[in-house]
A and B are shown apart, each in its own frame.
Chain A
Amino acid sequence: MAAREPSRYLARAVPRVLPPSSRPHAFLGRRNASDKAPERRLSSELNELESESSLATRVDEKMAKSFDPAARAKARKTQLPRGRYQFRSPKYYRGPLHPNQPPPPSDPSSRLYVPGPFSLPRAKQTYDSTIASDILTLCYVHNPPGFKPPPKAPRLREWDDSSPYHKNRPLRGPRGGDVLRLLRKPIAFNNIPEIKRITIHSYVKDAAGGNSSWLHVAGMAVQAISNVRVETFRSKASVSGWGLVPGRDAVAVKAELQGETMYHFLSKLVDVVLPRIKDWPGVKGSSGDSSGNITFGLDPEYVALFPEIEVNYDMYPPKMIPGCHITLHTSATADKDARLLLSATGIPFYGKIVH
Chain B
Amino acid sequence: MSTGSNGARRIASLLRPRFDAAVCRSCQETIGRRNYASAAAEPTTTSSDPSSTSPVVQPAYTINAGVVLSRPPVITRDLEPFEKAFYLYQKRLNERQALPFTKYFYFKRGTPLDEDWKKKIQERQTPARDIGKYNAYAPDAWNDELLLGAKEAEPEYQVEMLVRDAESTANATSQDTSKKEEIPRPHPRVTEADKKGDQKSLNRLLSRTLYLLVQSKGGQWRFPQSQIATGETLRQAAERTLFESAGKNMNTWMVGYHPFGHFVRNIKPRANSKTGAENLGEKTFFLKSRIMAGQADLSANLHNLADFKWLSKEEISKFVHPQYYSQIKNMLADR
Contact = CB atoms under 8 A, between A and B. Distances in A.
Interface string B197-209: 0000000000001
A55 B326 contact: no
A116 B79 contact: no
A11 to B, nearest CB: 33
B34 A148 contact: yes
A116 B86 CA distance: 9
A255 to B, nearest CB: 17
Interface in B38-86: 38, 72-73, 76-77, 79, 81-83, 85
Interface in A100-123: 108, 113, 115-120, 122
A150 B37 contact: yes
A49 interface: no
Contacts of A122: 76
Taking residues whose C-beta sits less than 8 angstroms from the other chain, chain B's interface range is 35 or more
B94 A118 contact: yes
Given A29-B327, A145-B23, A118 B90 contact: yes
Contacts of B91: 115, 118
Contacts of B72: 126, 129-130
B287 to A, nearest CB: 9
Contact of A147 (B34, B94, B143): B34
Interface stretch (A66-74, A87-95, A198-206, A330-338): A66-74
Interface string A19-33: 000000001111010
Nearest to B97: A115
A29 B326 contact: yes
B326 A147 contact: no
B143 A70 contact: yes
A253 to B, nearest CB: 17
Interface stretch (B252-260, B267-275, B276-284): B252-260
B148 A59 contact: yes
A150 B105 contact: no
B1 interface: no
A312 interface: yes
A149 to B, nearest CB: 9
Contact of B333 (A28, A133, A140): A133
Nearest to A113: B97
Nearest to B93: A115
A193 to B, nearest CB: 15
A64 interface: yes
A64 B149 contact: yes
> Which of A64, A69, A120, A137 has the most B CB atoms < 10 Å from its CB?
A137
A55 B82 contact: yes
A142 B330 contact: no
B322 A27 contact: yes
B11 interface: no
Nearest to A311: B106
A144 interface: yes
Interface stretch (B24-32, B174-182, B223-231, B295-303): B24-32
B323 interface: yes
A128 B37 CA distance: 41
A118 B140 contact: no
Nearest to A61: B148
> Which of A118, A147, A312 has the most B CB atoms < 10 Å from its CB?
A118
Contacts of A351: none
A73 B82 contact: no
B323 A147 contact: no
A137 B258 contact: yes
A32 B330 contact: yes
A144 B20 CA distance: 13
A73 B90 CA distance: 23
Nearest to A56: B81
Contacts of A140: 256, 258, 260
Nearest to B253: A134
Contact of A53 (B81, B140, B258): B81
A226 B232 CA distance: 51
Contacts of A116: 90, 94
A147 B30 contact: yes
A138 interface: yes
A315 to B, nearest CB: 7
Given A115-B93, A137-B258, A148-B34, A67 B147 contact: yes
A134 B94 contact: no
B30 A150 contact: no
B288 interface: yes
B93 A125 contact: no
Nearest to A142: B258
Interface in A42-89: 53, 55-56, 59, 64, 67-70, 73
Interface string B242-263: 0000000000000110101000
A146 interface: yes
> Which of A32, A55, A113 has the most B CB atoms < 10 Å from its CB?
A55
A351 B289 CA distance: 27
A129 B335 contact: yes
A70 B141 CA distance: 10
Contacts of A168: none
Interface in B125-143: 140, 143
B319 interface: no
A125 B73 CA distance: 9
B23 A55 contact: no
Nearest to A54: B82
B87 interface: yes
A162 interface: no
Given A29-B327, A73-B143, A134-B290, 17 more contacts: A30-B327, A55-B81, A55-B82, A64-B149, A67-B147, A67-B148, A69-B145, A115-B91, A115-B94, A117-B90, A118-B94, A126-B73, A129-B73, A129-B335, A130-B73, A139-B256, A146-B23
23 contacts: A29-B322, A32-B330, A53-B81, A55-B82, A59-B148, A67-B148, A69-B143, A70-B143, A113-B97, A116-B94, A118-B87, A118-B90, A120-B79, A126-B73, A129-B72, A134-B255, A137-B256, A138-B255, A140-B258, A145-B27, A146-B23, A147-B31, A148-B34
